[in-house]
Each structure stands twice: as structure tokens, then as C-alpha cells.
Amino acid sequence: MNLLHPSSAGTAVQLWFVNDLPVRLVHADVRYRVLTAEQWMDATGWTIAARGPSAQTLTFAVRAHGDLWELSSAS
């Protein structure tokens, strides 16, 4: 199940890294704490399991877009 409106794909997300691993993600003004992160084989993005303020865990796929990160999907 995809929780995002189709127009959300491609929107900017913010990622914070520690030791080259994402530790925080912000999407639509909501901060998520990264639980697990796997880098894609082509090293252009990450699949991230993260917990939000309501304790719900979501999986985000984010892709590098120049110096920024954009959302590919979330579920």
C-alpha cells in the first residue's frame, strides 16, 4: 500500500547522515528517526525504514537528485 498521493513522488526530503548512514529524515514537515537503511546497488538512493512521531513505522525510497534528495515512494 502506498501512503502518498501520486503527486508526492519527486518531492524533496531532507536527510541527515552520521558516519555515511542516514539517521533522520524529514518529509512534509514531519521528522522521522531512521531504524534501518539500505543503499541501492547503483548507490543513487536508499530504502529507509523510519519511525515518525506517532510511532508508526514507514518505509521510504529516496533518490539522489543532484545535491538534493527526492522521494520515490513510501509505504
Q: What is the spatial distance between Cα 35 and Cα 1, in angstroms, rounded to a whole number?
A: 20
Q: How many domains does the chain have?
A: 1
Question: Is residue 61 very low, low, confident or very high in pLDDT (cuts 50, 70, 90)?
Answer: very high
Q: Which domain holds residue 25?
A: 6-74
Residue-wise pLDDT tens digits, 31-51: 999 999 999 999 999 999 999
Residue 30 in any domain: the answer is: yes
Answer yes or no: is 55 within a domain. yes
Among 9-13, 32-36, 64-68, the range scoring the smallest mean pLDDT is: 9-13
Which residue in 71, 60, 12 sits closest to 35, CA to CA? Answer: 60
Single pTM value for the model: 0.86
- The answer to whether position 57 is within a domain reads yes
Domain assignment present for residue 1? The answer is: no
